[in-house]
Chain A
Amino acid sequence: MYEISIQNVTKRYDDQLALDNVSLRIEEGEIFGLLGPNGAGKTTLIHLLCGLIGMDSGDILIGGRSMKKSPEKLKALIGYVPQEIVLFDTLTVKDNLEYFGRLYHLSGTRLKEKIQSALAITGLKDHHKQKVKKMSGGMKRRLNIACAILHDPKILVLDEPTVGVDPQSRNHILEAIREMNRTQKMTVLYTSHYMEEAEALCDRLMILDLGKELVQGTKTEIIRTVTNESVVEILTDYLPTGITEAFQEVPGVKKASVRDGKIHLIVDSSDPIVEKAVRLLDGLEVKVRNLSVDNPTLETVFLSITGKALRD
């Protein structure tokens, strides 16, 4: 078992409190998202997990073993993808992979196999002879990941791996992460500035700000901490009289009104209202031309909790 347990971790840089008593647990095979604006403490938490810096108090356990007691052994279980592109830019793709592979004690045929596998996962198979400095930003990002997965890590830590990447490479990166998580049961800790990425990729999330945990849970749980209401708008071929009253009677509808010729409903977001609404309109022989559900997003939750946008 390679679950991660971060227990009451505190880290200071001189007078600045970077992490304040943060705790979280990531189950094996889970994709966990760490969200927060710049200076929230995400990278510090990752550096602690990767054993690059020491913590002032608390502990990090991987599979029940303390990072404080056996950091070198535990580090070998982790694949770390740094925020910056950290590669030897005068060397080729293969040379870079060989160097990092050898640091992970890979050699000979096994190293060659692992290089081929990492190239295949990141879609760089046709570029292994290319020099890094001549590659696009997206390809460099993919190589940045390839260098971290050579040794089949049980845990993959990605610190904003899609910054400045074109949509094609971004999709490739996200798909590669999903694939590794699915096929190798790899536990993934992921930080991003892109809320939609975190929403789409992560099973659970934590929002950090100024070194403190604000909230953690599944996407739905996090949204519910702020609001459990969604807005549904229905455009119909006509509006029969008493339609708002009829909707008011539907379980889960908190408020019904007509705005700009559309039926405007405020509903309980956990209730499957769409089906009920369509059935009601069908009974009244009203045809639905358009229907939209506006659920609260993590972006709005984030704004509500921290008072700032994620990219601040």
Chain B
Amino acid sequence: MFDSVWKATGAIFSKDFKVIKSQGFSTLLLFLFLLALGLLYGLMYQNVFDQNIHWTPLPVFIFDETGSSEPGFAEDLLSPDRFPFIELHKAFSSLDFEEGLANQKNAVGLLIKEEEGQTKIYWRSVGEKSIEKNILFQAIEKGVEEALWHTRTYAILGPRAADFMTEWEILAARPLIREVPREDIRVLSSLEYYLISLFTGFCILFTTEFVRDREQRLIARSFTAGIRKSTLYWSNFLSNFVLVFAVALVYFTIVFGIFLRIPVPLGPFFGAVIVQAMVVSAFQSLLGGVCKNRKVELVISLLALFTMLYLGGAFFPVEVMALERIAEFMPNFQLFKLYEGLVLGHPGLDATRLGILFAQSAVMALVGWFVFKKSEVL
């Protein structure tokens, strides 16, 4: 059995390698496309997450008709520490306020009035819409909501409100505080996350020959050579593994060595790449077993790719989406954690992650083997 698997693996690997070589230009283009996607994401990442926005100064005129001499709610909210683009002007009369606004091409006026026993804030905008005005408006809305909550709490609870508010602040702060080891503060960024996820999903797309062979009845013809279903299936798995390992090694050497410039220990790095190749070839085998033609394969692999990218945290951090539990099921998330361990200088590879990835690979490969029916290759 092992002898025939070994010989068949040699034949299939040699054939797959020759096929890839014969399609050298398109294979190279696909690989460059993968690298280009990484670069494009890097560009986007730099502009979105590491913003370097040039704020336009926004004059804000405030007139408080209620006549309060203490710094009011709006002045507290609009401190220059929070909004560096604001130029705050306090008006002392309605005329001041109106004149101030009239002399500006682009400004905001906040008129605070007492009406029917309620304090109301009126928003006046001069000039075009802008990102600064938008941010300011949202901040005021949120501030008002919070103020209302406080007011109502005091109105309902009376003297007990102060104690309640203290308790509440402690409770509200708790989920946001997470005690983490100091070293874990150095986690990989979204960019690195994306690069790992992208490869995991993407190489599913460009190394599967099994479904194509199946569609063109080459698998059926191979069966007439007396080769068993299990021999053919596992030989394809091994052949894919070798090819993916080679591609992954090149890709991650470029990612860590050129893109990210993060030194990683070589031994665990090779180990991680081997695990990566195992996961990808298991997924390819699953596709080979499930998909009868390339159209179905493309749809399923794209679905898997984008599910992994979105829910595995490639586009947005998992914590932001509160989807950590779902992410645990994504091989790319587990692989990311494995590579993260390398970057953080952990000794060896995380055994738990390895266990999960082995289990995921085994399930995928075995399901593919179980579903793959010899009679359906005709």
Chain A residues engaging chain B, CB cutoff 8 angstroms: 47, 50-54, 71-73, 75-76, 78, 80, 82, 84, 86-88, 90-91, 95, 98-100, 102-105, 107, 131, 147, 151
Chain A residues within 8 Å of B218, by CB = 86-88
Chain B residues within 8 Å of A100, by CB = 221-222, 225
Contact status A54-B375, CB under 8 Å: yes
Which residues 1-22 of B sit at the A interface, judged by CB distance below 8 A?
4, 7-8, 10-11, 14-15, 18-19, 22
Contact status B14-A99, CB under 8 Å: yes
Contact status A78-B217, CB under 8 Å: no
Contact status B220-A86, CB under 8 Å: yes
Minimum distance in angstroms from B242 CB to a CB of chain A: 16
Chain B residues engaging chain A, CB cutoff 8 angstroms: 4, 7-8, 10-11, 14-15, 18-19, 22-23, 216-218, 220-228, 374-375, 377-378
Chain B residues within 8 Å of A88, by CB = 15, 19, 218
Minimum distance in angstroms from A230 CB to a CB of chain B: 42
Contact status B225-A95, CB under 8 Å: no
Minimum distance in angstroms from B47 CB to a CB of chain A: 41
Contact status A52-B7, CB under 8 Å: no
Question: For B222, B223, B228, which residue has the most chain A Cβ atoms within 10 angstroms?
Answer: B223
Minimum distance in angstroms from A120 CB to a CB of chain B: 21
Across the interface, name the chain A residue whose C-beta is closest to B232.
A103
The 5 closest A-B pairs by CB, nearest first: A102-B11, A75-B226, A103-B225, A80-B224, A90-B22
Supposing A72-B228, A91-B18 touch, asked if A80 and B11 sit within 8 A by C-beta, the answer is no
CA distance A135 to B378 in the complex (A): 25
**Residue from B8, B11, B216, B227 within 8 A of A86 (CB atoms):** B216
Chain A residues within 8 Å of B216, by CB = 86
Chain A residues within 8 Å of B375, by CB = 52-54
**Residue from B8, B15, B221, B226 within 8 A of A73 (CB atoms):** B226
Chain B residues within 8 Å of A73, by CB = 226
Chain A residues within 8 Å of B226, by CB = 71-73, 75-76, 104
Across the interface, name the chain B residue whose C-beta is closest to A71.
B226
Contact status B23-A90, CB under 8 Å: yes
Minimum distance in angstroms from A130 CB to a CB of chain B: 13
CA distance A103 to B213 in the complex (A): 15
Chain B residues within 8 Å of A52, by CB = 220, 223-224, 374-375, 377-378
Chain A residues within 8 Å of B8, by CB = 102-103
Minimum distance in angstroms from A90 CB to a CB of chain B: 4
Chain B residues within 8 Å of A98, by CB = 11, 14
User: Knowing that A72-B226, A86-B220, A103-B11 are A-B contacts, what are 9 other residue pairs whose CB atoms are under 8 Å apart, sorted by A's residue number?
Assistant: A47-B378, A52-B374, A75-B224, A76-B226, A86-B217, A88-B19, A104-B225, A105-B4, A131-B22
Chain B residues within 8 Å of A50, by CB = 224
Across the interface, name the chain A residue whose C-beta is closest to B22.
A90
28 interchain pairs (CB within 8 A)?
A: A52-B220, A52-B374, A53-B378, A72-B226, A75-B223, A75-B226, A78-B224, A80-B221, A80-B224, A82-B217, A86-B218, A86-B221, A87-B218, A88-B19, A95-B18, A99-B11, A100-B221, A102-B7, A102-B8, A103-B8, A103-B11, A103-B222, A103-B227, A104-B225, A105-B4, A107-B7, A131-B22, A151-B225
**Residue from B7, B10, B11, B225 within 8 A of A75 (CB atoms):** B225
* Interface of chain B: mostly helix, strand, loop or mixed: helix
Chain A residues within 8 Å of B222, by CB = 100, 103
CA distance A147 to B11 in the complex (A): 14
Chain B residues within 8 Å of A78, by CB = 224
Question: For B221, B227, B375, which residue has the most chain A Cβ atoms within 10 angstroms?
Answer: B221
Chain B residues within 8 Å of A131, by CB = 22
Question: For A71, A73, A86, A95, which residue has the most chain B Cβ atoms within 10 angstroms?
Answer: A86
CA distance A53 to B23 in the complex (A): 33
Supposing A86-B217, A88-B218 touch, asked if A51 and B223 sit within 8 A by C-beta, the answer is yes
Across the interface, name the chain B residue whose C-beta is closest to A100.
B225
Across the interface, name the chain A residue whose C-beta is closest to B374.
A52
CA distance A312 to B18 in the complex (A): 41
Contact status A105-B7, CB under 8 Å: yes
CA distance A105 to B226 in the complex (A): 10
**Residue from B7, B18, B217 within 8 A of A84 (CB atoms):** B217
Chain B residues within 8 Å of A103, by CB = 8, 11, 222, 225, 227
CA distance A78 to B227 in the complex (A): 13
CA distance A80 to B227 in the complex (A): 14
CA distance A90 to B213 in the complex (A): 12
Across the interface, name the chain A residue whose C-beta is closest to B217.
A86
Across the interface, name the chain B residue whose C-beta is closest to A84.
B217
Chain A residues within 8 Å of B223, by CB = 51-52, 75
CA distance A58 to B19 in the complex (A): 41
Chain B residues within 8 Å of A71, by CB = 226
Chain A residues within 8 Å of B377, by CB = 52
CA distance A6 to B216 in the complex (A): 29
CA distance A73 to B14 in the complex (A): 25
CA distance A84 to B216 in the complex (A): 9
Chain B residues within 8 Å of A105, by CB = 4, 7
Chain B residues within 8 Å of A102, by CB = 7-8, 10-11, 14
Minimum distance in angstroms from A39 CB to a CB of chain B: 15
Minimum distance in angstroms from A128 CB to a CB of chain B: 14
CA distance A38 to B52 in the complex (A): 71
Minimum distance in angstroms from B86 CB to a CB of chain A: 65
CA distance A51 to B224 in the complex (A): 7
CA distance A102 to B232 in the complex (A): 13
